[in-house]
Amino acid sequence: MPIPFKLDYVIEKTLAKQTNSAARTIRRLTGVKLSPSDAHAVWPLLLEHKWYLSERLRRDVGLRVAAVDYFENIYQPLPIIYTRRDPLPQRLPMMLPLSER
């Protein structure tokens, strides 16, 4: 009996559910909304931060406390990068050379 779908499809859907799950969990714990790829990248850092805090305080701090602490004190979102479609902000007069003011 042939399999009605390919294994790659199943793997892709399973991994997509895991990344969406990380984004949902982070949002539920902290209120921070991240894209699925960002959440997937941040999740191991959250777990490491939880371990670090627990070791420093010599008790289990819990995932919510560690996640909130991580986003308040450590996490730095990537800066916004302008593309050609997004015009650069207009230059203020104080940014212009003296000859152009």
Percentage of residues in the chain having pLDDT higher than 90: 42
Q: How far apart are CA 54 and CA 49, in angstroms?
A: 8
pLDDT at residue 85 greater than cutoff 90:
no
Q: What is the pLDDT of residues 13-56, one digit of tens each?
A: 776 665 578 889 999 999 999 988 889 889 999 999 999 999 99
Give the per-residue pLDDT at 3: 65
Higher pLDDT, 92 or 40: 40
Q: How far apart are CA 63 and CA 54, in angstroms?
A: 10
What are the two backbone dihedrals, phi and then psi, of residue 63, each rounded to the nearest 5 degrees?
-70, -40
Q: Which of 74, 67, 70 is nearest to 29 (CA)?
A: 67
Q: Which of 66, 74, 18 is nearest to 46 (CA)?
A: 66
| Mean pLDDT, rounded, of the chain | 80
Q: Which of 40, 51, 41, 49 is nearest to 71 (CA)?
A: 49
Q: How far apart are CA 30 and CA 74, in angstroms?
A: 14
Give the per-residue pLDDT at 90: 64
Helix (H) or strand (E) segment spanning residue 69: helix 63-73
Domain boundaries, the chain: 1-74
Q: What's the whole-model pTM score?
A: 0.60
